[in-house]
Amino acid sequence: MQEVTVRLNKKHGSEIFELSIPASWEELTREQFLYIAKYWSAWQNLLQHGHSLIKARCGLLIALSGLNTSKQRKRLCRALSFVDLSTDVNILDCTNFVFGELKLTKCLVPTIPVGIFKRYYGPADKLADLQIDEFSFALHCYTQYSKTGNENFLLKLMAVLYRPKNPNYKKSGELRSEFNNKLVDLHEKVLSKCPDEYKHATYIFFRGCMEMLEKRYPEVFTRSKETQRSGGSFIDAVISMSGGKFGPFSETKKENMHVILKELQELIIKSKKEPDK
């Protein structure tokens, strides 16, 4: 956390604010993360068009300030209203991590309320509990949204990753019900009633995980993009690259994605070292 002191000089003395602000994505609270997700697209649009983000950063600073009461937040808001383009705005640098490299692999929204007593449950940190088939479906939704900007793909991404609680949780240890691609449309209808920030929160988390995965398994994702450009899915690429090592499709699709990606990375590196036969 960043411990920050804000001093606003006035004619009759000064006003001081002691703030405790997250220093990284993974220090955000659920509420702070959802605030960022709510305005994420608008901020990205402003950045792309070269507009000032000072007002956006001031609002973000208030949301991240750690101030508990509305009275305290209003006082800080009043102080920040004096900030403009000619002001020394070093205090706003506390929000830089939000606009820099996306280093988020922690699931900050582990549950989504879908009724008074009902919740949908999300994936583990770093997508650690995803099957390769589930990851393939999620990656398709993520890629299509990145290409088209169509938010229907965001809703589908959320419907792939968030599911009802597993009724056999105490026996299996798996909190979410098992992934079934035939139920995605059903989950989509349930989740469609959620506020938009939940969709964007899912995207931001998945994107952070993707950046981590592409750095960890670069060979796999370079090869898979070639297969996907020709119309195949990620799991098609997996089966093609593995040369049948993981067995038939019915077995392969249920394997943990991290196990598969690690094995594939090693297979590809090994094949490059072997002389051509």
Q: Tens digit of pLDDT for each residue in 258-271?
A: 999 998 898 888 88
- Judged by DSSP in three states, 205 sits in helix
Residue ending a domain, among 99, 134, 166, is 99
Rounded CA separation 205/105 (Å): 6
- Cα angle 144-145-148, degrees, rounded to a multiple of 5: 80
In this structure, are 124 and 257 located in the same domain? yes
Reported as a pLDDT band with limits 50, 70 and 90, residue 254 is confident
Query: Does 251 lie in the same domain as 130?
Result: yes
Which of the listed residues 99, 134, 161 is the one where a domain comes to its end?
Answer: 99
CB 181 within 8 A of CB 137: yes
* Domain total in the chain: 2
Residues 69-121: tens digit of each pLDDT: 788 778 788 777 766 544 555 778 889 999 989 999 999 999 999 988 899 99
Residue 9, pLDDT score: 66
Asked if residue 104 belongs to a domain, the reply is no
Side-chain-facing half-sphere of 37: CA atoms under 13 Å: 25
Question: Do residues 36 and 142 share a domain?
Answer: no
Q: How confident is the model at residue 12 (pLDDT cuts 50, 70, 90)?
A: low
Residue 232 lies in a domain: yes
pLDDT for 127-143, tens place per residue?
A: 999 999 999 999 999 99
**240 plus 133 within the same structural domain:** yes
Question: Do 126 and 92 belong together in one domain?
Answer: no
Residues 54 and 178 placed together within one structural domain of the fold: no
The pLDDT of residue 158 is: 98
Task: Tell whether 51 is covered by a domain.
Answer: yes
- Do residues 4 and 19 touch, judged by C-beta distance below 8 A? yes
The predicted pLDDT at position 272 comes to: 80
Mean pLDDT of 14-32: 89
Residue 202 lies in a domain: yes
Q: Are residues 135 and 224 in the same domain?
A: yes
* % of the chain with per-residue pLDDT over 70: 89
Greatest distance between any 2 Cα atoms in the chain: 84
Quick one: pLDDT band at residue 276, thresholds 50, 70, 90? low
- Average pLDDT of the chain? 86
Co-location of 95 and 116 in the same domain: no
| Same domain, residue pair 40 and 81 | yes
Last residue of a domain, one of 51, 75, 99: 99
Q: Is 105 inside any structural domain?
A: no
The model's pLDDT over 188-218, given as tens digits with 9 standing for 90+, comes to 999 999 999 999 999 999 999 999 999 999 9
Range of the domain at 222: 111-273
If asked whether residues 85 and 143 sit together in one domain, one would say no
Question: How high is the pLDDT of residue 89?
Answer: 52
Average pLDDT over residues 7-24: 76
| 149 assigned to some structural domain | yes
Residue 243: per-residue pLDDT: 67
pLDDT at position 212: 96
Same domain, 269 and 134: yes
Q: Does residue 119 share a domain with residue 95?
A: no
**Residue given tokens 């804000």 in the structure block:** 6
In a domain, 106, yes or no: no
Residue 258 contacts by C-beta under 8 Å, 6 or more apart in sequence? 126, 127, 128
